[in-house]
Amino acid sequence: SKPDDFPDDAPDNSWKGHPFNYFTQGVACSEVEIDVLTGNHRVIRSDVLIDVGSSINPAIDIGQVEGAFIQGMGWCTIEEVIYADDDHTWIRPRGKTFTTGPGTYKIPAFNDCPEIFNVSLMEDVDNPFAVHSSKAIGEPPFFLGASIFFAIKEAVRAARTESLGSDSYFEMRLPATSERIRMHCADSIAAESMSVGAPGSIETFQARGTD
């Protein structure tokens, strides 16, 4: 219904309507392997299924899906933004972004891509709101790359179960850098490497990013 404080002379389309003509959705499943000593990870396989309506050019759409997926993968695994704050007092002045170029900010390379990478488009999906029943594609698959982050977290959970004897909930923040993976494995080596005065215990430790 119309908000009580909305002007009576305002046109109807200023307070109600359909902001999007259609929606798209997809699903992804990824398999990863982590090195509990170094925190390194590799993506063994990723399978993606996405709705792009009735694709006008499947080759282009699949390429867009692949690119967005890898971009999302980088965002949630290796692309860590570091700026001057209480955890990084060595950066001056306060608020300055440190990771401003390829020397300090890593983006995915060819060897970071899944070793097996399958992208499938849904078939016979009607979309009466666009040209030839198509759907825009490019950014929607971005977050599907997070499937790699959650696969990494499950691998870390397995390592923590072995080292702590418990598979209880733990907070793991993005991105899943090598440092975070290594420390979240929570073994005796990680416990010994905690800095003096770090808050909490190895079970709840949160890496602060590059120090």
Active site residues: 139
Contact in structure between 53 and 125 (CB atoms under 8 Å): yes
- Asked if residue 191 lies in contact with residue 204, where contact means CB atoms within 8 angstroms, the answer is no
Give every CB contact of residue 96 below 8 A, 6+ residues apart in sequence: 83, 84
Let me know the angle formed at the C-alpha of 205 by 159 and 160, rounded to the nearest 5 degrees.
10
Q: Is the peptide bond preceding residue 102 cis, with omega within 30 degrees of 0?
A: no
From CA 11, how far away is CA 34, in angstroms rounded?
57
User: What is the dihedral angle through the alpha carbons of 160, 165, 166, 171, rounded to the nearest 10 degrees?
Assistant: -30
Q: Could you tell me the CA-to-CA distances from 31 to 9, 59, 129, 203 in Å, in that order?
A: 56, 25, 36, 25
Q: Are 141 and 26 in contact (CB under 8 A)?
A: yes
Q: Are 187 and 159 in contact (CB under 8 A)?
A: yes
